[in-house]
Amino acid sequence: MQTIGLRVRPRPDMSQRSAAQARLATSLTLAAMSLGYGVVQLDVTIVNTALSAIGDSLGGGVAELQWVVSAYTIAFAAFILTAGALGDRIGARRVFMAGFAIFTAASLACGLAGSSLTLIVARAVQGLGAAVLVPNSLALLSHAYPDEGVWAAGASLALTAGPCRESPDSCKSSSLLLAFGAPL
């Protein structure tokens, strides 16, 4: 009796494919969470740096400018714990996506604001969106990177980039030069 040999094309090992997909998913999680948290930090520093330009543009006084900052801070502080608990109950990814949508829409409203009152209301909504983003981005990152402090690194970079974005001259401080090691 003669045995017929079949040539079988080797299939890629499923465990290798799964490992590659897991690495890609983890990298995309890092990018998305860094973007989400980064825009929150960037926004805080840009607004604080641009307060005088905002006052000149909208004609508001000191009280209105204080409310531009305070409305965001109050909304952020009021909703951050609730948003974290909501993420635990219905899923951090779903809540993070909703927070990102809220923050983006409020940012657009801030950019289009024609009066101090409109800007203050939009900043309060922006603070709500930020409160939803922050705890849920941390939860998602801690699942993707259980033993690493990646979230803090992204936050640090975003905080230092805000003044650079609004006023490049403010980036010439020695701490930024030491952090990046390059002349600005």
- Residue by residue, pLDDT tens for the chain (184 residues) are 555 544 545 555 556 667 777 777 777 777 777 777 777 878 888 888 888 888 888 887 899 999 999 999 999 999 999 999 999 999 999 999 999 999 999 999 998 999 999 999 999 999 999 999 999 988 888 777 766 565 566 556 655 555 555 454 444 432 332 233 332 3
Q: Measuring CA to CA, how many Å separate 24 from each of 38, 140, 174?
A: 20, 15, 37
Domain tally, the chain: 1
Is the residue at 128 inside a domain? yes
Contact 130, 76 (CB under 8 A): yes
Domain residues for the domain of 83 are 32-156
Is the residue at 26 inside a domain? no
